[in-house]
Amino acid sequence: MIHLSRALTAAAFLALAASASAQTPAADNPIIAYHGAVLIDGTGAAPRRGTTILVQGERILAIQPDADAMPSSAERVDVSGLHVLPGLIDSHVHIATPPNADKAHVHMRRWLYSGVTAVRGMADDLRSVGELARQARVGEVPSPDIYYAALMAGEGFFNDPRTRAVTAGEIPGRTPWMQAITTETDLPLAVAMARGTSASGIKIYADLPAERIAAVTAEAHRQGLPVWTHAMVYPATPQEVIDAGPDVISHACILAHQAQAPADRPQSYASRTPIDRAPFLNGDNPLVQGLLNQMRDKGIVLDATVWVYADQERAVSDRPGARQPICSGPMVFALTRQAYRTGVAIAAGTDGETPEADPWPALLEEMELLQNAVGMTPGDVIVAATATAARTLNQEADMGTLAAGKLANMIFVAGDPSADVANLRRLVFTVKRGQRFERADFAPARD
């Protein structure tokens, strides 16, 4: 039996936190004026010099030229010459597989002090993630805000040892955050239980046929939840996934299955058989092109995750005879480049992390790969990690661009990221919900 009351605990905590925040009148908070910045607003517009951003509480009060009058009571912070842009968003992280709060806190702190103000958790133990999200939201620990998925998959997936790790004490596939979907499933109830975990979306993972994916997607949308899915759900093909109409598709790599002969396509996600690289390295693939055209026209975001495939390839490069990853780095770069040229909205997500002792999280390298290996312009990479990434969270009304009324999630850097996103490593400080975090105060964890 699924214990709905346990799932609702995280929701209750988050609701109480939001209520407490709402009871603090904005007028009781001082106005802070960040004066003299070069504005990169996250829309793709050209940088704008001589900009002042007025912040009150956790929101942006106004964005105006430096020459305009400021409230006499405003606290002025001189940021002359610094570039300001929206806080970064990693659209694909895993933070509790298996749960380890101490380790999670290390990553959460590093994310925030590296300019990341929100992340999208893509299936974990939500008993743990709900508490981490509460801690982040009310400021108990330094962290980006955490938005997360409840997972749905076919029964076969729940033989995966990871599912036991994230449902310990319960039966895999029979919890509100990890549900096995069959033809007998009461989908309205299943989606309602997923909502009860305070999940921001439903992730569809593996071992589901096309008709079940379409049914889950339709019911989730009816109940107001976005749907996030892998590009192939095994056995459902990329074309069948796109036909279902999800909001976000993850992993440019596995779009390549559409170009395989039907007999060669794996029927289970566990296959992990490397895909032949050749059809994707010498120009645009026509079968993948058809998928990308539909994604563009339907407004489906591609969470490309180029970093994780580059990292997997590095991991086996010095191990002769090691099994190759399902896609190579150059193959994923080529597929993502084709999506970019087609006009598909691309979000910056990592699906992995650098070692804890590294001073920077993987998102910085993800963005550099999108610029240098995929060929996106620096401005478009910034949009991928801000405005488009906010779409993956269904939070574009509050974050992703800098505008009056939005959350004061901002980063200030000494170089110009619109010329080279490597300048994000010259971060001076992060502002998250109006609170400032100085990069100089950060020290990475020790090995």
Q: What is the pTM of this model?
A: 0.93
> What is the rounded distance in angstroms from the CA atom of residue 235 to the CA atom of residue 226?
22
447 residues of the chain, pLDDT tens digit each: 344 434 444 444 444 444 444 444 456 899 999 999 999 999 999 999 999 999 999 999 999 999 999 999 999 999 999 999 999 999 999 999 999 999 999 999 999 999 999 999 999 999 999 999 999 999 999 999 999 999 999 999 999 999 999 999 999 999 999 999 999 999 999 999 999 999 999 999 999 999 999 999 999 999 999 999 999 999 999 999 999 999 999 999 999 999 999 999 998 888 888 999 999 998 999 999 999 999 999 999 999 999 999 999 999 988 888 888 999 999 999 999 999 999 999 999 999 999 999 999 999 999 999 999 999 999 999 999 999 999 999 999 999 999 999 999 999 999 999 999 999 999 999 999 999 999 999 999 886
Q: Where are the alpha helices (DSSP H) in 224-285?
A: 238-244, 278-281
Please state whether the peptide bond connecting residue 235 to the residue before it is cis, i.e. omega within 30 degrees of 0.
yes
269-273 contacts: CB < 8 A, separation 24 or more?
269/157, 269/205, 269/206, 269/207, 269/230, 269/233, 269/234, 270/160, 271/234, 272/326, 273/326
- Report the b/e string of 69-86 with b at 16+ CB within 10 A: ebeeebeebebeebbbbb
Question: Residue ranges of the alpha helices (H) in 210-261?
Answer: 210-222, 238-244
pLDDT for res 27: 62
Phi, then psi, of 55 in degrees rounded to 5: -120, 135
Predicted confidence at residue 16, as pLDDT, reads: 40
Q: Cα(195)–Cα(149) distance, rounded to whole angstroms?
A: 10
Amino acid at the residue 49:
R
Q: Which long-range contacts (CB under 8 A, 24 or more apart) does 25-29 make?
A: 26/56, 26/57, 26/59, 29/56, 29/57, 29/434
**β-pairing, 75-78 with 201-204?**
unpaired
What are the angstrom distances between the C-alpha of 387 and each of 282, 289, 365, 397?
Answer: 31, 24, 18, 10
pLDDT at residue 446, as a whole number: 85
The structure tokens listed for 325 are 């990853």
The answer to whether 82 and 428 are in contact (CB under 8 A) is yes
Q: What is the pLDDT of residue 14?
A: 42
Cα 206-210-214 angle, rounded to 5 deg: 100
> Given the DSSP bridges, would you call strands 178-180 and 145-153 parallel, antiparallel or unpaired?
parallel
Cβ(388)–Cβ(304) under 8 Å?
Answer: no
Three-state DSSP at 83 gives: strand
